[in-house]
């Protein structure tokens, strides 16, 4: 799966849904494989029961919140504040240090997985 996702990342003009389709296709292929091996509908039931729905809901909520903050302009304002801390000359070292220390402080309270999309949006400027 990882190799197919890496290869898909080299395609320049692909739809945004490509990675999701690759994952779903591989899930379907795995289910068909289990059905062919003779496990029947029990394989489908086991896969559905093994899905971590709490984590999926958490990540979906996280992306909704970050998307909302981006849409309203909060992320852009935070990124502009960090850039202004760099001064008029735009000291890259100061901006980099602020981003790193902000990440260190926030990741002490928030897990690194939810922290990644926030930092990505901050560094992009909204």
- The pLDDT profile of the chain, 126 residues, written as one tens digit per residue, is 788 888 888 888 888 888 888 888 988 888 888 888 877 777 778 888 888 999 889 888 888 888 888 889 888 888 788 778 776 666 778 878 888 888 888 777 777 666 777 777 767 665
Question: Can you read off the two tokens belonging to residue 115?
Answer: 């922290």
* Domain final residue, candidates 51, 69, 91: 51
Kindly report the number of other CB atoms within 10 A of residue 121's CB atom: 19
Instruction: Give the angle subtended at the CA of 65 by the CAs of 26 and 82, to the nearest 5°.
Output: 110
Domain that holds residue 7: 1-51
Contact present, 66 and 121 (Cβ < 8 Å): yes
Same domain, 34 and 90: no
Number of domains in the chain: 2
pTM of the model: 0.60
Burial class (CB in 10 A: 0-12, 13-18, 19+), 118: buried
């Amino acid at each position: 799966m990882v190799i197919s996702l890496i290869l898909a990342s080299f395609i320049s003009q692909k739809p945004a849904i490509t990675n999701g389709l690759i994952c779903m296709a591989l899930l379907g292929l795995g289910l068909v494989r289990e059905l062919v091996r003779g496990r029947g509908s029990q394989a489908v039931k086991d896969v559905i029961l093994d899905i971590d729905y709490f984590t999926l809901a958490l990540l979906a909520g996280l992306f909704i919140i970050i998307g909302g903050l981006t849409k309203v302009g909060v992320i852009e304002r935070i990124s502009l504040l960090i850039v202004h801390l760099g001064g008029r000359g735009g000291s890259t070292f100061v901006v980099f240090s602020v981003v790193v220390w902000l990440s260190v402080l926030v990741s002490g309270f928030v897990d690194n997985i939810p922290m990644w999309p926030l930092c990505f949006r901050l560094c992009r400027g909204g």
